[in-house]
Amino acid sequence: GESVGLHLPTLSVQEGDNSIINCAYSNSASDYFIWYKQESGKGPQFIIDIRSNMDKRQGQRVTVLLNKTVKHLSLQIAATQPGDSAVYFCAETPGNTPLVFGKGTRLSVIA
Amino acid sequence: DSGVTQTPKHLITATGQRVTLRCSPRSGDLSVYWYQQSLDQGLQFLIQYYNGEERAKGNILERFSAQQFPDLHSELNLSSLELGDSALYFCASSVAGGGESDTQYFGPGTRLTVL
């Protein structure tokens, strides 16, 4: 598949370690945030979302943290696996407007 | 598999030509979104249709147009193609009109190469 984002920031993590992917968003009016995972040659896949009235939300092996004061979002992946290797995008929206996607971070898992 | 289908998977054409990309949303979804993804770029929102009507417009060039049909499938038309239009084009669909908790599900994309 085509390689997405050849010059993206890259995070390299040992298999089994925890990963933290960060995202700074731009619009202080944004009230809904989503993390997507994009594997090579595939479309983005929804991982987890969070509303602005929350500061933490947990899923299966993933946790999203939201700090509205500094407009920062993070995605934590526990016990990172080779299948987690992908490009991760955060997206934001201030209400009923289209999602705005960040540039993405490439996660590379070292076996 | 997200349930969103896109055809064709690959498309190679020449500058100045016109192409049509097709998208079928997930069953029951009323909104269709189109995005462009170039190398080194994130996903750029182009346009959204909701139940047949244009709902939101992003950075879509005048040479590009889209429509959503009564059966809710959508087509993105790209004309007078330029080399810079080479990209991945994704379609996404959602149940409602967008916004909070209206999760967008993405198709596998169409890779357009303009020579």
Average pLDDT, chain B: 94
pLDDT of A7: 66
pLDDT exceeds cutoff 80 at A6: no
Find the closest chain A residue to B109 by CA distance: A43
pLDDT of A27: 87
B113 part of contact set with chain A, CB < 8 Å:
no
Identify the CA nearest to B34 among candidates B88, B83, B113: B88
pLDDT exceeds cutoff 90 at B96: no
**In this predicted model, what pLDDT tens digit does every residue of A34-85 receive, in sequence order?**
999 999 989 999 999 999 999 999 999 999 999 999 999 999 999 999 999 9
**Contacts with A, B 60-99, CB within 8 Å:** 88, 90, 92, 97-99
Percent of chain B with pLDDT over 70: 98
Inter-residue contact A27 to A43 (CB < 8 Å) = no
pLDDT of A2: 41
**Do the Cβ atoms of B97 and A49 come within 8 Å?**
no
**Do the Cβ atoms of A89 and B43 come within 8 Å?**
yes
* From B42, B105, B109, residue closest to A46, measured CB to CB: B105
Q: What type of residue sits at position B75?
A: E
pLDDT of A55: 96
pLDDT exceeds cutoff 60 at B58: yes
Asked which of A2-6, B40-44, B58-62, B67-71 is least confident by mean pLDDT, the reply is A2-6
Distance, CA of A66 to CA of B30 (rounded, Å): 30
Find the closest chain B residue to A40 by CA distance: B108
